[in-house]
Structure 1
């Protein structure tokens, strides 16, 4: 009987650990309305996840450390402006989770080339990572950042191919 009790206790302990690990997962399921568009308003430091014209979620965001103006060149610290799309996902991001934006587009590449420069790239919507940050300070190299908790929901809700409109 003692052997059975120990096994039961071990099984309950491992089951409880698995349950807790599931609660701490950074991946969640979303079964609500489809996000048909992401809108980012740089001037308001706001991002909206929309189903048609209905706002599903709204977030305060941080942008590139040089927030004024559109991204034009590699290393300028600016967040792009224009229409882009979600084109990739990174579950192992240094910034918790991230979804990629297909910057630069053909127009961005052509403009940078006309100026003899590179347009840059690797623009993402991502979390804060391991550092504590203030909501009021722009700090990214051109990306759009939300808290890790918010990014968990963004990652679940936004699918590849979703349009992203970024306004000044």
Structure 2
């Protein structure tokens, strides 16, 4: 599969909250003054139309600093963390190793001189491809060759607020899909939900990875993500939701880049699967459901190891 080449398509963060919208009427008056500076306006009116927008901006910034929320309506620390994750996985030349078995790094563009075995999700920079082989550089600076089929720069971004799933190749947006979620789409997942506690049928937030592809899912096809993650395990242990043994099992699974335990009280089996309505409704138990046509499309790109950023 040929990678999508770069056009630097930006994907802005959510727009400012209505609480901080500028006074549009005042801005129009400022523009009118700039277009026709000789048009008579009262001194008070002129002063007001200039000062009001500036005052609005100043108040917005001050409130953001005071309550720890930036002008985008998100906690500042949370947005910085997510922006860092997005920047890392959308790097133009940053690829990763896909598949359950990982890949081998070779000295030359053949299989005669193997250098090392690389597990799934090993990050590396593509230096150029020729035929079936790509020259790459690892984070420690070592260079070599790997088969092109073992590399990917695909990642998935799940937007719970907009009920959308976006497929990227590096920084390039490939396609956007409508998605269905659970009944409580706005909150982060904390524990396993049930018929008696459907409020916890939530979609987790954070940076995850595809750990399994199920072509025979009861919901058409499914990409299983590695929830619970490390942060979820830390929180679960601190809050007494899971035991130390369960915590150790989750951490060990992530260290070995395999599927974590799914049967603890933190919940599990969070998937991007099919049988969605395509109308952005709320019916799942925390999974992300796509229309089967969209599931077929994303299935062609997503592999074991594909990063999934859920926010």
What TM-score do the two structures reach when normalised by structure 2? 0.41
Match of 1:36 among 154, 160, 174: 154
Shift, 1:125, TM fit: 0.2
3-state secondary structure, aligned to 1:92: strand
Match of 1:105 among 225, 229, 250: 229
- Which aligned segments of 4 or more residues in structure 1 are displaced greater than 4 angstroms? none
Residue 165 of structure 1: aligned partner? 309
Match of 2:291 among 143, 147, 151: 147
1:50-85 deviation per Cα after TM superposition (whole angstroms, max 9, x unaligned): 011111111011112211211110111100100000
- 1:1-168 correspondence runs (5 A): 31-33=1-3, 34-75=152-193, 76-117=200-241, 118-128=265-275, 133=277, 135-167=279-311
3-state secondary structure, aligned to 2:235: helix
Shift, 1:114, TM fit: 2.4
Q: Distance in 2 between matches of 1:59 and 1:35?
A: 19
Q: Distance in 1 between matches of 2:208 and 2:170?
A: 17
Q: Residue 53 and residue 134 in structure 1: after superposition, are their counterparts in 2 closer, same or farther (change >3 A)? A: closer
Q: Distance in 2 between matches of 1:150 and 1:36?
A: 16
Corresponding pairs, count: 134
Residue 82 of structure 2: aligned partner? none
Higher mean C-alpha deviation, range 62-71 or range 83-92: 62-71
Shift, 1:115, TM fit: 2.3
With CA pairs under 8 Å and 6+ residues apart, which has the higher RCO, 1 or 2?
Answer: 1
Q: Distance in 2 between matches of 1:134 and 1:83?
A: 24
Q: Which structure is larger by alpha-carbon Rg, 1 or 2? A: 2
**Structure with a larger share of its residues in helix:** 2
Q: Distance in 2 between matches of 1:152 and 1:36?
A: 15
Shift, 1:86, TM fit: 0.7
1:16-38 deviation per Cα after TM superposition (whole angstroms, max 9, x unaligned): xxxxxxxxxxxxxxx34255210
Q: Distance in 1 between matches of 2:185 and 2:239?
A: 21
1:122-163 deviation per Cα after TM superposition (whole angstroms, max 9, x unaligned): 00000017xxx4614211111111001111111121111011
Structure 2 residues without counterparts, runs of 5 or longer: 4-151, 194-199, 242-264
RMSD (Å) for aligned C-alpha atoms: 1.5
